[in-house]
């Protein structure tokens, strides 16, 4: 790894490369804090798969406390959580025990060990040529069919936002239900956008000059 990688947005972005939105999430099985897990066993529900650089580090600890506290919010959305790092299973156990004792919250979602980096490299969480095995903060939002629907990549020195992870899930689930679009800063309960018109007659027939591409969902706009 380059010396500056933890502070470099460019290095982090490069390490998120590989998989794309719309790809099937590659299957794997691994040992975890809740037993052996196989990604494909999660078909039929949403899954947030995320990597963290290392156990017993400050930002990662705050992320796990926040996610454990929000576990019920993810479950309400029929979404499982699955974490991964190169640390050993016994490191994970010791860390979770410390988190339970210090923060009074139990991390009950699986944390996978990936000692050979095979999963981390496959998902672009660790760059192929890196000598440093620490993963960046990659997050994959995987739908019930096993398709990657969104990805985020944060550097080691900035923690992820649990409310934004939940908002992403809400938005993905909402646009699926209505075949619609979620605008900037959309929050559950707010209006969604319709698909823009894609034929010239509809464009000319629309009332306002922008209505053909900037209409509310269900207002007649279609692809």
List the one residue from 47, 53, 99, 166 that touches ligand BEZ (CB under 6 A): 53
Using CB under 6 A as the binding rule, whether residue 86 contacts ligand BEZ is answered as no
Q: Residue 75 or 158: which CB sits closer to ligand BEZ?
A: 158
Residue 163 is encoded by which pair of tokens? 């409310």
Is 59 a binding residue for ligand BEZ by CB under 6 A? The answer is yes
Residue 155-194 contact track with ligand BEZ, rule CB under 6 A, x = bound: -xx-------------------------------------
- Those residues with Cβ within 8 angstroms of residue 217's Cβ, 6 or more apart along the chain or in another chain: 178, 180, 181, 191, 192, 193, 194
The residue from 16, 60, 79, 153 that is catalytic is: 60
Angle between the N-to-C axes of helices 89-103 and 58-69, in degrees from 0 to 180, rounded to the nearest 10: 70
Which one among 25, 30, 48, 60 touches ligand BEZ, defined by CB under 6 A?
A: 60
Active site residue 60: yes
Q: Does 99 bind ligand BEZ (CB under 6 A)?
A: no
Which residues in the 203-222 window bind ligand BEZ by CB under 6 A? none
54 touching ligand BEZ, by CB under 6 A: yes
Q: Which range, of 23-31, 54-62, 65-73, 200-208, touches ligand BEZ by CB under 6 A?
A: 54-62
Segment interacting with ligand BEZ (CB under 6 A) among 49-57, 91-99, 183-191, 211-219: 49-57
Q: Which residues are annotated as catalytic?
A: 60
Binding footprint of ligand BEZ on the chain (CB under 6 A): 6, 53-54, 57-60, 134, 156-157
């Amino acid at each position: 790894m380059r010396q500056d990688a933890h502070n470099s947005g460019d290095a982090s972005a490069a390490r998120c490369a590989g998989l794309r939105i719309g790809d099937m999430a590659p299957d794997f099985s691994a040992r975890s804090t809740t037993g052996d897990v196989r990604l494909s066993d999660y078909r039929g529900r949403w899954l947030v798969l995320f990597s963290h650089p290392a156990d017993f580090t400050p930002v990662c600890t705050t992320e796990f406390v926040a996610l454990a506290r929000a576990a019920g919010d993810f479950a309400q959305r029929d979404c499982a959580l699955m974490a991964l790092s190169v640390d050993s299973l016994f490191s994970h156990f010791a860390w979770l025990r410390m988190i339970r004792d210090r923060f009074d919250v139990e991390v009950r979602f699986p944390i996978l060990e990936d000692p050979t980096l095979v999963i981390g490299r496959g998902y672009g969480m660790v760059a192929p040529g890196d000598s440093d095995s620490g993963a960046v903060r990659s997050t994959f939002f995987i739908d019930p069919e096993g398709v990657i629907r969104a990805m985020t990549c944060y550097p080691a020195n900035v923690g992820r936002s649990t409310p934004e992870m939940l908002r992403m899930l809400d938005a993905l689930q909402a646009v699926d239900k209505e075949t619609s679009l979620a605008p900037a800063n959309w929050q559950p309960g707010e209006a969604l956008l319709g698909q823009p018109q894609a034929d010239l007659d509809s464009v000319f027939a629309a009332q306002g000059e922008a209505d053909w591409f900037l209409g509310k969902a269900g207002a007649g706009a279609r692809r």
